[in-house]
Structure 1
């Protein structure tokens, strides 16, 4: 028995497709509705901590992820300057357990494709260009409208539709993401042979400069600056800004700048923070992933937390006989404190950079959260 037999999922990101995979594997009838017209072929990289890799193992996608990404141990902290001297070599906690690497990186569209393929192979139906526009709950279940037309009655609607979640609005949750004061430039570039794991530069003209390998020949590079209105810039203007802001960083940044000058794509977003207080559900609708919580990627836990939301939710749904208060009580007890710890720590690390607090114990906070994440959700 499962607590649900038919489920609608809004969103085809990490949280939505992980939920679809687990439910479909358990024999649940699953429809995924994605507002975008297709799976995006654009994007930069994503850093994945060990607890995200553990989640991929539970989903049955780890072999494909491992083959497509680049996984490693350790973290290097460098100082700005032409020589980019390494000032610290930090070991990383294997938060996924001894059978998984400490961390890794991969191209975001590759991860999206792998999850989509596994969801469809498990039996989930995925429709693009389809937005959930209304929900109505009754004794029979929850009626879901997509683009103004009813798709029928479901036992549950999972809102995994991101920062600007439509489902969150439809079910009356008012908490929304707020800017933290930081913005990030990202670019997907070639990997110099000497880059074998993530490296971060603190200080200089931006808060953080860094890069993470994503494959044998690829990596993504990023610069974190004070949040600004960067809308309306041409590709050439965006590249020029990234070139200027990275000029103080040597070492592998010389190779990154060469790729930027050769036409590497650049994108820009603001960091946000929010955590919806319990409950994340309203009756037979629940939000997870970025719809429920967001934070700066200062400890790279965004994907991991979305995956954990999905795995805990589906574990409870597939082992319970009914969708009752016991399911929701356990879900919130297991997810809220963990998400709160990640959001608080991520925001604090960013705020220390904004405040130029050189006395802050960033390594201590990072390792403390890592130890927490090493315990399964």
Structure 2
């Protein structure tokens, strides 16, 4: 028994593929349309909290993901300056429960590859180079098109097509991501043996300097600064900027700089924030993940929230025999308050950094959100 027999998903990111896996496993006919021409082999790393790992287990992908990533416990805080002394070793709340690590880092391309493989093995048809540009709703169906070519008729369209979601715009939702005032440099580098968990440096020339291990030999490093218009700089200039901004940080940053000097690529983006108010659906079209909400990665919950969106929606779709108002009411009741809490906390943590508020209870806020996330979505 499922509420739908055929579903279209726009976007082959973490959220879209998670939904595809669960629906296809339940016997639903699933077509995934991804605007990019292929699965990207580029990218840095991703930090995943325990509640994200719990979703991967529900998808049946946990064993593969665990083997490809670097699980760890706790968080170190270091001071800038000579020696980069560790000033605090903080325990993590196991938001996924006792059966999972508190956190894990892994290369983004590896995560994408594993989820794509599981979606295809479950029976989902994933088509690259196809952008959803048209939606026409009828009584119990959605006609989905791309550049005036009809892609198919479906019982539901899931818009998991990211921050600049075309589906969100197509169904008339005007809420869009807006900058928070912070920008981030990221680079994928080698892991010094001393780095066994995420470490953050507060103070110095940038708001936050840090890194997260992603494998036995790899990690990703990042510098969070005041948002600037850096999107047109050359690769060489990007590397130079990240090198110069990192010189105030010692310890493992010396190894990171060596990789940058040897050609490690640096990329730049801005932090954004938005939260679409209820409802996330218009009829039989619904948006999930970054299409519905975004926030700075200050508590590393962005991917986890998209995964939870997918898990909750597919649980409802595969456990009922009709798409009706009560399904959407339950979906929004379970997802909107949780996503709102994460967005607001993540934005607040960033704003405290921008304001230089030394009296802010960042630890208390992080712990409180972690306690909430420890309860299944």
> Does TM-score exceed 0.5, indicating one fold?
yes
Shift, 1:152, TM fit: 2.1
- The residue number in structure 2 matching 1:32 is 32
Separation in 2, partners of 1:166, 1:278: 18
Q: Which moved more, 1:358-367 or 1:310-319?
A: 358-367
Unpaired runs of 5+ in structure 2? none
Quick check: 2:272–2:296 contact (8 Å CA) kept in 1?
A: yes
Question: Aligned with 1:371: secondary structure?
Answer: helix
Quote the Cα distance in structure 2 between the aligned partners of 1:58 and 1:268.
Answer: 33
Q: State how far apart, in whole Å, the 1-side matches of 2:231 and 2:154 are.
A: 40
Q: How far apart are the structure 2 equivalents of 1:104 and 1:363?
A: 20
Deviation, 1:147, is 2.8
Deviates more, 1:133-142 or 1:337-346: 133-142
| Pairing 1:133-144 to 2, within 5 Å after superposition | 133-144=133-144
Q: Distance between the aligned counterparts of 2:147 and 2:71, measured in 1?
A: 41
- The farther-off stretch of 169-178 and 228-237 is 228-237
Asked whether 1:201 is paired with 2:193, we answer no
The alignment's TM-score, normalised by the length of structure 1, stands at 0.99
Measured in 1, the distance between the counterparts of 2:79 and 2:66 equals 31
Please state whether the residue corresponding to 1:80 is helix, strand or coil. coil
CA contact (8 A) 1:157 1:285 kept: yes
SS of the residue 1:132 aligns to: coil
The alignment's C-alpha RMSD in Å is: 0.5
Q: Per-residue displacement from partner, 1:267-325 (whole Å, max 9, x unpaired)?
A: 00000000000000000000000000000000000010000000000000000110000
CA shift for structure 1 position 140: 4.3
Q: CA deviation at 1:23?
A: 0.1
Q: For the residues of structure 2 that align with 1:315 and 1:189, how far apart are their CA atoms?
A: 38
- Counterpart CA distance in 2 for 1:79 and 1:356 is 16
TM-score normalised per structure 2: 0.99
Matches of 1:152 and 1:8, distance apart in 2: 8
2:323 is matched with: 323
Q: Distance in 1 between matches of 2:152 and 2:347?
A: 40
Q: How many residues align?
A: 377
Given that 1:140 and 1:153 are in contact with CA atoms closer than 8 Å, whether structure 2 keeps it comes out as no
2:50 corresponds in structure 1 to 50
1:1-377 correspondence to structure 2 within 5 Å: 1-377=1-377
Give yes or no for contact 1:130–1:147 (8 Å, CA) kept in 2: no
CA distance in structure 1 between the partners assigned to 2:173 and 2:268 by the alignment: 28
| In structure 2, distance between residues paired with 1:108 and 1:319 | 31
Q: Distance in 1 between matches of 2:52 and 2:284?
A: 27
Stretches of structure 1 lacking an aligned partner (at least 5 in a row): none
